Structure 1
Amino acid sequence: MRLHREGVDEVHAEKIASFNKWLLQIGDGSMYDIPGQEMIRIPPELYRPTGENPMEDIVNEVYPSLLENYRDPAYLKERAILTPKNETIHELNDFLMSMIPGEARTYLSSDSVCKTSINTDNDDLLYPTEFLNSLRFSGIPNHDIQLKAGTPIMLLRNLNQSRGLCNDTRLIVTRLGK
């Protein structure tokens, strides 16, 4: 989607397309150095060595001066951290949220099954609330999500492509609802 927006020059579009191809190859397993093993070669321009606290190191590398700039859309739009596992990104999100000042508000998902099917008598037994709340999927927020005013978030669905509200669009929380 980002390649189709106006104002993207040919060189930048080529870099985005090349990076996109590399990510897709990782996702489909064709990038692995040794078949059957989950090992890939990271291009040198993407690799940064870490110290004792890898989480802090990567945040400092990708978001230098975060506390001074986290409300600046221009600063945020040029940065992102990608991880191969959802659990890692949840840890990173928790770490980043702890760094950003302000009071957090927790929002919860719906914790019931839609009753549109004919056989609804046993749904509560098949899908207990605790089970539904524990599920974690790529592209779907967890059962509980903490937000603070001023924090960056990422849109997970295409809402209005003509206005730039596409999957993976980065936004900033401006205020929290009750």
Structure 2
Amino acid sequence: MSVPEEPDKVKLLISLFSPREDLIHEVISNMTDLFGPVDWMSPPLFFDRTRYYAGEMGWPLHRRFISFHTLIPPQDLIPIKIKTNEIERGYLDGENRLINIDPGYVSAERLILATGKNYIHRIYLGKGIFADLTLIFKRGTFVPLEWTYPDYSDPKMIEIWNQLRERYMNEIREKRLRNKTEERR
């Protein structure tokens, strides 16, 4: 029989893209008030694997990925996605979004994105939010799945996700070491 226990906290990851680079930086700055300090930011990228959002948001679309210093319980993805949806609604041009914000997390085993859209590989979390299993960690690297978005499965991005996971694993090891040290006192 399995004994339920809480999983390790996870590394909050957020993808932002917009036709306006300045807006991405403004939103990132505002997010630190909500989620704590940013501990990693991708170089400037283009959201160019699909033109799915071009009609709504324009073209080209600038992109950044960020992660935060403070680890979160995995279930916090629900209120975080709800909050990022609210932030998006604060930057509308009529009915069109000026920024897209997609939170997710990196754990030892996987990279998860939060979404409001159901699909075969998405697990319902609650309050209209689903967990999208985007990448799995297998044999020393993140591995894309048949439904993984092309921009997440690009070999250069896989390298970045592996580095982010290594950063996360170091944080978890340090936390466990601190906990053991405190238990001995």
- The normalised TM-score by structure 2 is 0.27
Which structure has the bigger radius of gyration?
1
- The normalised TM-score by structure 1 is 0.27
- Greater strand share, 1 or 2? 2
